[in-house]
Amino acid sequence: MGSFEYLRPASISEAIALMEGSGGRGVYIAGGTDVMVLIRQKKIFPGCLISLRNIGDLAYLNTASGLAIGSAVTHNAIAKNEFIQKKYTALTDATNKVGSLQIRNVATMGGNICNAAPSADTACPLLVLDAQAVIAGKDGDRKVPIDDFFLGPNKVALKPGEILKGFAMPAFNGRTGSAYIKHTRRQAMDLPMLGVAARITIRIDGDEIGCKDALCTIDNISNILRRFEDEKLVCEDIRIAMGVVAPRPMRAKKAEEALKGKVISEALFEEIGEIAASECQPRDSIRGEAWYRRDMVKVLTRRAILRAVDRVIRPDDMIWPERLW
């Protein structure tokens, strides 16, 4: 490992100034779980590391209107947040499954997104939660929809010196649920072979949605959905996002289009999965074969939507996952 300076600015503007003065040899570092690996692998040779850790303006978590999360908030802080567990559950699913507890305690969501790996776990949830990236630069803040933030593998829409300040997500009504499924070969310390996130808002004429009998608490969601068939649950709004099936995390827009406004059923979700699979472009790699990934998009899209629906119908079950460690 080569030597470098380690700088600890106290504010965003100071950080940007330090970056400007670094002569192109500065690298921002937050949790460091990606940057330090790159340095040790001799893939980058920074002259100085500019730490974003002590900057309070990057560490906010605000629920006053929608959800606003600073880029320096750690995965574990997000995973443990009860508001997010209830209202933005896909983010809980994703932050809970990154690396190990040790990694989640230091790795930040901003870092996960700026690293822009096609496999970034938090990318799919942010896509389905209509997040906007808030970017701080010399001349003030600007906002970019997260879908436009990812440009390609390890490439994001940050101009030199700019800092990803955080994420802003709108508020969703109470008939909304979201989920992220990470498909892995083992239960921890793994990247997804693929990941699928879904957010759905359900509309029903008349009565409110929710399970009314005891069976509902133990039955599986497929059966429950079948029992709701006559009540005509309609998909009011839907987002589907997929990771590791293209050079960057992507929305399955055709699949979304096909589901929006329709009466929901598991059979329909199956079709939606097929459409999503046709939209992605998975590759063969040592981490998984293309045909398998495409097949899993079908399966996991259906399962992710089902899980999101489940969270609308059975909100009490929304404390996720089963083992909180």
Partner 1 sequence: MDGLKFVGKRIPKKDAPLKATGEAIYIQDLKVPGMLYGKILYSKYPHAKILKLDISKASALPGVKAVITGGDVPNNFKFGFLKDNPPLKSGKVLSTRDEIAAVAAVSQEIAEEAIDLIDVEYEELPGIFDPIEAMKEGAALVHEEFPSNVLKMPWKFVHGDVEAAKKESAFIAEDTFSTQWVTHCCLGTSGCVASFDVGNTLTMYSNTQIPSLAQGDFLEALKAFGLKNKRVRIIQTVIGGGFGSKLDTYAYEYIAILLALKTRRPVKIVFSREEEFLATSPRQPTITKISQGCDKDGKLTFREMAMVLDNGAYTSWGATTPSVMMVPISSLYKVPNIKYTAKCVYTNNTYSQAFRGYGNPQATFAIESCLDQLAEKAGIDPVEIRRINANESGEVTPQNFRITSCGMKDCIEEVVKRLDWKNKCKRGNGKGVGMASLIHVGGAARVYKSDGCGTIIKVDDNGKVDVITGASEIGQGSDTIIAQIVAEVLGIPMDDINVINNDTDVCPWDVGAHASRTTFVAGNSALGAAQKIKAQIMEIAAKNLGEPVDALDMQDGIIFSKNDKEKSIPLGKVLRKAHYSLGGRMLVAEHFYDPPNENFDQTFRGNLSVSYAYGAHGVEVEVDRETGQVKILNYIAAHDVGKAINPMLLEGQIYGGGLQGIGYALGERMIYDKGYLKNGNFLDYKMPTVRDVPPVQAVIVESDEQAGPFGAKGIGEPGLVPTAPAIANAIYDAVGVRIKDLPITPEKILRALKEKEGQKA
In the bound state with partner 1, the residue whose beta carbon lies nearer, of 44 and 188, is: 188
Of 214 and 286, the one with the shorter C-beta distance to partner 1 is 286
Asked if residue 228 lies in contact with residue 314, where contact means CB atoms within 8 angstroms, the answer is no
Residue 92: alpha-carbon gap to chain centroid: 9
Binding test (CB under 8 A) with partner 1, winner from 10, 36, 171, 188: 188
Segment contacting partner 1 by CB under 8 A, of 21-29, 72-80, 183-191, 230-238: 183-191
In this structure, what is the dihedral angle of CA atoms 231, 233, 234, 237, given to the nearest 10 degrees? 160
Under rule CB under 8 A, residue 187 binds partner 1? yes
Restricted to residues 94-123, the positions that interact with partner 1 (CB under 8 A) are 100
The window from 56-64, 76-84, 178-186, 240-248 that contacts partner 1 (CB under 8 A) reads 178-186
Query: Binding segment for partner 1 among 11-19, 181-189, 213-221, 307-315 (CB under 8 A)?
Result: 181-189
> Would you give the end-to-end CA distance of the chain in angstroms?
33
- Please, which of residues 282-321 interact with partner 1 by CB under 8 A? 286-289, 291-292, 295-296, 299
Q: In this structure, are residues 76 and 105 in contact, taking their beta carbons and an 8 Å threshold?
A: yes
Whole-angstrom Cα distance, residue 250 to residue 123?
9
| One residue of 44, 151, 171, 189 binding partner 1 per CB under 8 A | 189
Segment near partner 1 (CB under 8 A), from 50-58, 81-89, 147-155, 179-187? 179-187
274 binds partner 1 (CB under 8 A): no
DSSP secondary structure, 223-288, as one string: HHHHHTGGG--EEEEEEEEEESSSSS-EE-HHHHHHHTTSBP-HHHHHHHHHHHHHH-----BTTB
Check binding of 190 to partner 1 (CB under 8 A).
yes
* Cβ-based nearer residue to partner 1, 25 or 185: 185
Binding positions for partner 1, rule: CB under 8 A: 1, 100, 183, 185-191, 286-289, 291-292, 295-296, 299
